[in-house]
Structure 1
Amino acid sequence: MGIVINQSIKNTVITYIGFAIGAVNSLYMYPHFLEEEFYGITTYILSSANVLFPLMAFGVHNTLIKFFSEYKTENEKKQFLGFVLALPLLIIIPVFAISILGYDSIASFLSRKNHVVYDYVWQIPIIALCMGYFEIFYAWVKVHMQSVYGNFLKEIGLRILISIFLLGVYFQVITVEQFITATMFAYLISMLLMLFYANKVQPISFRFKIPNNAKAILVYSSFIILSGSVANMLLDIDKTMLNQYIEIKNLSYYSVAIFIATVIAVPSRSMHQITYPITAKLMIENKYDELNDLYKKSSITLQIIGGLIYVGIIVNINQLYLLLPDNYRGGIFVVFVIGLSKYFDLILGNNNSIIFNSKYYRAVLFLGLLLGFFAVTLNMIFIPKYGIDGAAIATLISITLYSIAKLLFVVLKMKLYPFTVKNIYALLIGLLCFFGFYYWEFPFHPILNIMLKSALVAIVYVGIVYKARLSGDINGVIEKVFKKLYSN
């Protein structure tokens, strides 16, 4: 776990800096610099692109990681990369052809509730394309154990560009309409920078040569396209479907609540950048004892870190919403519900990495497709009745069922177990801190309240976790920090 912890810490720091920038964007600049309608349009376009991008990438960002270790020479690895870089064209070319020829019909259908969306639908496949190839180039550097720069681009660089464009709107350098198009170019720039860095880490060959295991690659990629689409659909279908039932400005309120809740998932995103290739390597080498150990460690570590963040958000949520415009304050319920789904997903550790690199990925995929249909149905039922709260409820049910299904597959089919009694202790510590701090506030400004309460929650939570020795990795980091402080 040494390299995992090392790069996970760096990625976590980078990701939280990115989230800090994102917080300024989402919680202040977007609500104050853009009209609610245009904030909603931006959210809709990016969410729709995120649903589409696994299809545009042809699943090869996961395929590259799974099969990379099977190639022994550098020449074979480069030829493999050239092959997988060409595979997405099988989807990209027909998608763009359909988008161009049928734009009017497609855009009219997607904008039937909110007509203002019509003029921006064309940007969705372009952003999806940029997202897809970014992840492919990012996968190339991850298999070379270099995950930090790509994470920097994804979490910080992209958000800085968005901040610059938002400031452009504020100072009337660009219009709000031009801002939406500038957002598309931000994703294009990020993709190109990732390409240049990937080529620097290990030169990329664009020579097309079909490898001997091409059939296995195509089969795996085809299933990963669908599984990735299901996973992204469960994450973003709510925002996409809200546009079909309620006014687009409500999407801006939902987006703020989702952003707050998504902070809980940062540790998972950071750790998975490095655990994914390690999981693939352990499975290829049949080192299942080490894999089971990694599974348990990732579960308790992510639960502890994610639990602290979730408790910190919930106990401060009322004060946090006092900092937002009045219209945005109806999203507290959404934060609680979506945060709960993120917390449950965290405690599964590197569950996804294990499934996507196992022979059972096809079976889970079919189950995922069923649950994807279930998610769409739930959103169709709950959104018309309860608006953004209904979308949150549908998302919680869908993600929870999907997570349980994946967990059962790993436990029953592969005999790998993520949980120990320590997971129960971590849950109890979180509940203790929640009930201990939620029901009282300092009589100060909201920002000062948040700072003071967060500090107290962190001291109590981390102190109990450290004394209980729930995670050797976390205790090791704490002891290393104290050693540096005392040595200075």
Structure 2
Amino acid sequence: MNVIKKQAFISTIFSYAGVLVGFISWFFVFPNFFKKEEIGLLQVLLSYMYVMVQLSSLGFNAAGSRFFVRFRDAQKGHNGFLFLGLAVGITGFLFCSIGVYFLKDWMIARKGENNLLADNFYFLLPITFATLLFNLFDNYAKNLYETVTGTFLSQFLQRFLLLASSFLVVFHVLDFAQYIWVWVLAFSFYVIPMIWKASKLDGFSLKPDFSLLTLQFIKQFATYSILTILTGFSSMIILYIDKIMLAEISTLEETGIYSTAAFFGSVMGMSLLALNKASAPIIVDSFAANDLKNIDTIYRKSCTTSLIVGCWIFLGIYLNIDNLFAFLPAGYEEGKWVIIILSLGKLFDLATGLNGTILTLSPYYKYDTYIMISLIGLTVFLNWLLIPMYGINGAAFALALSTIYYNAVRYAFVWWKLGMQPFTIDIPKVLLIMIAAGFVISLLPTWEGNKIRTVIDIVYRSAGVTLLYGVIIYWSKVSPELNGAMTNLWKAIVKLGKK
């Protein structure tokens, strides 16, 4: 548990530092210096990329995490784990690339307000390959209990490089047609330090070793891989099909507005993402040792902790939403309800914690595959139904409803099959504290007028809600882990002040 707390805490710091950088990029720089359709193009390429990465990996990362206890042996180079991962990943990438070549016309069909996507479509391939390699080596490091580096590189460094590269457009050094080459390089660079870090871990080896690959083990590994391909593909569908279908049914311009607003939903999920990465190897080992009590403890604490952080971020977003849109060009205000809808859906996701990770790594992982297959149909149907009716708000409703669906079903299966139910009285306490703190801060007078007054309003409103919400959370003792972290942080500040 101490390993999880330490790495999750450090990872969360890097994640939210990356959020700040991403916020500056996607909410200030890109909307003010790039066209809406250019933002839409970048987001559609990323959406296709994440789906393609999932298919290219052929389920190896998920299966590798589950069975890494069999591979783990530093003296033997972890029994050829990385060689096998590279072989599977490169094979999958080649097949997917061939598929993309033949499906290109279908994938860019009806985006016809201009040829922007068609002209830049093949930039999809290098960013896919770089992300595929990064995920493999990050997953390898994670299985050796080193989760911080991958989080730093993917959540902070990559976003910082993207922000830095965008200033080439801001200062008119490059036009967009030239910039996208730099964007690909900035996006892909993080794989280099990830490989270097992985090479420094005990037991690193790229040599082949087939000693573990008995027919029985290959069958187990392949079966799990195939099932997790479907599960992972479904996860990518729910996260990215909204942008793909919005660009297809509507326009890249609308997709740009939606993607800018949707950034806030992703911000709220950062704490749970950090917990997932830190907890997964511990959960694997706990299942191997049949230590269900430890998993149940992690499950309950993850729900409370991630919800506390998510509620704090939601308050910051909701109470400042009008101020934030004051810094955006005309037209982006259409995304206001997208932010609210997606944020509420994300709160439900946070409240149910690590249900997906636990179910996927449990002996009942097949159920998660069935859930996620049903999710594909539901998500596509909801987007198909709601986007024509409500535009970008319809895409937001589809994503929020899909999020609620798969978390509710996963929660039910974990309770049914493993007897783990994470909800305690602390969950409604956190929600009541959020509502009360939000109500009090909403009564504060608004500083209206120029941009400087707007910034002041954001700062004092955010500081007020952080102080009020934080004090009540600390006083209520709903999370001993967060209380301990807050106490240690305060001691560090006091100690620094005395110096």
Residue 474 (structure 1) aligned to one of 482, 486, 490: 482
User: Residue 396 of structure 1 aligns with which residue?
Assistant: 400
Distance apart, 1:99 and its partner CA: 2.9
Alignment of 1:417-436 (within 5 A): 417-436=421-440
Instruction: Give the deviation of 1:352 after TM superposition.
Output: 1.9
- 1:84-106 Cα distance to aligned partner (Å, 9 max, x none): 32122342222222333x26534
Q: String of CA shifts for 1:315-355, please: whole Å, max 9, x gaps.
A: 11111111211221111100011011111111122222211
Question: 1:453 corresponds to which residue?
Answer: 461
Kindly state the Cα deviation for residue 274 of structure 1 after the two structures are TM-superposed. 0.7
Change (3 A) 1:32 1:208: farther
Alignment of 1:3-14 (within 5 A): 3-14=3-14
Deviation (angstroms), 1:265: 0.9
> Are the equivalent residues in 1 in contact too, given 2:386–2:398 (CA < 8 A)?
yes
1:103 to 1:177, Cα distance in 2 relative to 1, 3 A = farther
Q: 1:125 to 1:194 in 2, by over 3 A?
A: same
Q: Is 1:272 paired with 2:276? A: yes
Q: Would you say the 8 A contact 1:110–1:118 is kept in 2? A: no
Does structure 1 retain, via aligned residues, the 8 Å contact 2:355–2:407? no
Determine the structure 2 residue equivalent to 1:128: 128
Please tell me whether the aligned partners of residues 310 and 350 of structure 2 are also in contact (alpha carbons under 8 angstroms).
Answer: yes
Residue matched to 1:290: 294
Q: 1:468 to 1:87 in 2, by over 3 A?
A: same
Structure 1 partner of 2:180 = 180
User: What are the residue-to-residue correspondences of 1:285-434 with 2, within 5 Å?
Assistant: 285-434=289-438
Give the match's secondary structure for 2:259: helix
CA–CA separation in structure 2 for the residues paired with 1:41 and 1:392:
19
Q: Which moves more between the two structures, 236-245 or 343-352?
A: 343-352
Q: 1:425 to 1:234 in 2, by over 3 A?
A: same
Counterpart of 1:211 in structure 2: which amino acid?
L
Indicate conservation of the 8 Å contact 1:316/1:438, yes or no: no
1:248 is aligned, of 246, 252, 258, to 252
Asked if the contact 2:77–2:205 (Cα under 8 Å) also holds between the matched residues in 1, the reply is: no
Query: Is residue 77 of structure 1 aligned with residue 85 of structure 2?
Result: no
Q: TM-score, normalised by structure 2?
A: 0.93
**Number of equivalences:** 487
**1:440 offset after TM fit, Å?**
4.7
Corresponding residue for residue 462 of structure 1 = 470
The structural deviation recorded for 1:114 is 4.7
For 1:15-94, what aligned pairs fall within 5 Å after superposition? 15-74=15-74, 75=76, 77-94=78-95
Equivalent-residue separation in structure 1 for 2:35 and 2:126 (angstroms): 24
Q: The residue matched to 1:118 in structure 2 has which SS? A: helix
Counterpart in 2 of 1:140?
140
Does the 8 Å CA contact 2:55/2:96 hold for their aligned counterparts? no
- CA–CA separation in structure 2 for the residues paired with 1:29 and 1:397: 31
Q: Residue 95 of structure 1 aligns to which amino acid in structure 2?
A: C
Q: Does residue 484 in structure 1 map to residue 492 in structure 2?
A: yes
Contact 1:30 1:39 in 2 (8 A): yes
Deviations 1:141-178 (A, max 9, x none): 11121111111110121112212221112223322012
Structure 1 residues 479 and 185, CA gap change in structure 2 (3 angstroms): same
Q: CA deviation at 1:437?
A: 2.5
CA contact (8 A) 1:113 1:243 kept: no
* TM-score normalised per structure 1: 0.95
Which shifted more, 236-245 or 54-63? Answer: 54-63
What's the Cα RMSD here?
1.8
**Does the 8 Å contact 1:310/1:339 carry over to 2?**
yes
- For the Cα contact (< 8 Å) 1:68–1:143, is it kept in 2? yes
Go from structure 1 to structure 2 and tell me whether the alpha carbon gap of 1:72 and 1:335 turns closer, same or farther (over 3 Å shift). Answer: closer
Q: Percent identity?
A: 26
- Secondary structure, in 3 states, of the residue corresponding to 1:306? helix
Q: What SS does the aligned partner of 1:69 have?
A: helix
- C-alpha distance in 2, partners of 1:199/1:380? 45
3-state secondary structure, aligned to 1:326: coil
Look up the match of 1:190.
Answer: 190
* Offset of residue 394 of structure 1: 0.8
For the structure 1 residues 114 and 348, does the alpha-carbon distance in structure 2 shift closer, same or farther, using more than 3 Å as the test?
farther
Structure 2 segments unaligned to the other structure (5+ residues):
none
- Select between 173-182 and 335-344 the one with higher mean Cα deviation: 173-182
CA drift of 1:459 comes to 1.4
Question: Judging changes above 3 Å, is the alpha-carbon distance between structure 1 residues 373 and 112 closer, same or farther for their aligned structure 2 residues?
Answer: farther
Tell me if the contact between 1:40 and 1:250 (Cα under 8 Å) persists in the aligned partners.
yes
